[in-house]
Structure 1
């Protein structure tokens, strides 16, 4: 196994210099990235499905100090997997950035350890994206393990609160989302991203240890002028938080509260950052009071202080330097004249 530490990889602020330039020799089509923390048997099932249904790829498995020995079966059965072990849990974004820096693929593909891919999953994603040069991110139809319940068909984004939700999550799949189309965000449970997009907008924000990384990256990609797409012809199954106890998920979401304000401060115009930053704090504190949720209220009360101590000055400069669309486009989503019919045929 390959053992690397956080220190000798120099994690920190994301910059475009951290990503291999698209003109460098890239000898595989896909770099599939899995970030693992105590994935148990689901990790092996995920990796097995990748090798069964994928070609021309490298698989980079980053382990965030797991204690369940979930790496061992993977290392024994699939010695070709590149394994990076971190001495501590540095979060999904931090682990992903390590893998991106050493990746060799023309496409960067994020995949959760509690997923299972299906036949032609990646080929169909790329067919969809290659039909239009401006498509920089594309996600499959994510289904729960029962094969009937939708997990995600892309993100729906609320500009005022900087909150995104998975479109269709929990609905029975009755054919409502069968057209390939532009979406406001992609779930990093499974999404393929062009390398040149990452080279343009930078790595994931590793200040966000858990949650909102995909919302943040989707916003930055859209600001830079890229299109994000949903491709129903690609199917991937997802346990959906199956590795985290229910009682812990609420606490983790509360700990991630400051990240929404961070996204606003980085990505919105200055006037909107002030306006909607204040709006986000006020309505969230009000919700905490109304619901008598002291933990929720305390997290929001601390959010401005955390963001002051972690002021994203460099990150904001990068986001704004890539800007090709105004905030009004983010706030009022209208998929433009993309070749839907062509993409739909390719996705079938």
Structure 2
């Protein structure tokens, strides 16, 4: 079993592979590199076989989405640590060793995210992950370096190694043992926020999620669904509600879910006025899909959610405020 497997999920992304895979190979000595192909209809697989014979290809029978695609493909990959890497990420020299060192220092760390900067605006943080993911008291995810659409310039304000709430799926290092102990990604999500749900469940199981500034990558972003896509609105809203129902303690569910229903209603009409009916309908579809998933979601709830959520947030709060 190798220590580290870098695993890129691909669907019709030959252009991204051609652009970014050479640096992955160049700057990842000692790691095994895999591409899980989600039944691409372009020439991705033949391109890989011809141009990158050192890269191992795992072919899925169909497009399982991000969550299912990784779950299915990773069954065929043995490693101590997985690095789940988007195909539109540029890695840098020495991006791996600081992450491995951090894993080796603390066995409780289950997942790690590097600093994620914008490929096109290289002094700015990137939307999907930035300097580590957090979650607010209403269950909305945000990042250090990005709140809503406000993206910060990297001025060294997050040059630290610290506990976070979730690590971005665009470059997610995770111990394989804890990944499978948590049953991997929730495949019902298909794409979007599945990594937040996974990190929440890992913490429910007593593990920690970390960020390190000593490793840096650059992410293009929007390679699958851009921010204006109604399907992205649908997936984000449905998956976020499902994640809350699965992981929140009961006492918080009783007020957070009703509050979110009201806020989503306001959001739907905001979309209707500013972006047209497609996003309004996406919100409605998200809610009906969430309702349909409720029986299955309730079955996935575990006893450990009751206190882990607030224990984790308190530990992070203490770290930033110096309270002990």
Specify the TM-score bucket, using the shorter chain as the normaliser: 0.7 to 0.9
Give the match for residue 97 of structure 1: 71
Match of 1:276 among 235, 248, 256: 256
Question: 56-65 vs 304-313, which deviates more?
Answer: 304-313
In the TM superposition, what is the alpha-carbon distance from 1:280 to its structure 2 partner? 1.3
| Cα offsets for 1:240-297 (capped at 9, x unmatched) | 114545643x542234421111111211123433432222111111222245354444
**Selected match of 1:301 from 259, 284, 287:** 284
- Asked if 2 retains the 8 angstrom alpha-carbon contact of 1:285 and 1:297, the reply is no
| Partner residue in 2 for 1:159 | 137
Q: How does 1:244-255 map to 2 (within 5 A)?
A: 244=225, 247-248=228-229, 250-255=230-235
Q: Does 1:88 align with 2:62?
A: yes
Check whether the contact 1:34–1:113 (CA below 8 A) recurs between aligned residues.
yes
Asked whether the equivalents of residues 220 and 319 of structure 1 are also in contact (C-alpha less than 8 Å), the reply is no
User: What is the aligned partner in structure 1 of residue 122 from structure 2?
Assistant: 147
Structure 1 position 335, deviation (Å)? 4.9
Q: Which runs of 5+ in 1 are unaligned?
A: 1-26, 341-348
The equivalent of 2:308 in structure 1 is: 326
Structure 1, residues 77-132: CA drift from partner, whole Å, max 9, x if none?
22232223334321001111012212211001110000121122111111122222
- How big is the alpha-carbon RMSD for the aligned residues of Structure 1 and Structure 2? 2.6
Rounded to whole Å, the distance in 2 between the matches of 1:224 and 1:316 is 17
SS in 1 for 2:259: helix
In the alignment, which residue of structure 2 is the partner of 1:229?
210
| Distance change in 2, residues 1:77/1:254 (3 Å) | same
Tell me, yes or no, if structure 1 residue 36 matches structure 2 residue 10. Answer: yes
- Find out whether 1:46 has 2:46 as its counterpart: no
Greater shift in the superposed pair: 239-248 or 67-76: 239-248
**Structure number with higher relative contact order (C-alpha < 8 Å, ≥ 6 residues apart):** 1
Contact 1:262 1:312 in 2 (8 A): no
Q: Does the 8 Å contact 1:182/1:335 carry over to 2?
A: no
For residue 344 of structure 1, what is the aligned residue in structure 2?
A: none
Helix, strand or coil: the match of 1:121?
coil
Q: Deviations over 1:26-46 (max 9, x none)?
A: x20112221112223221333
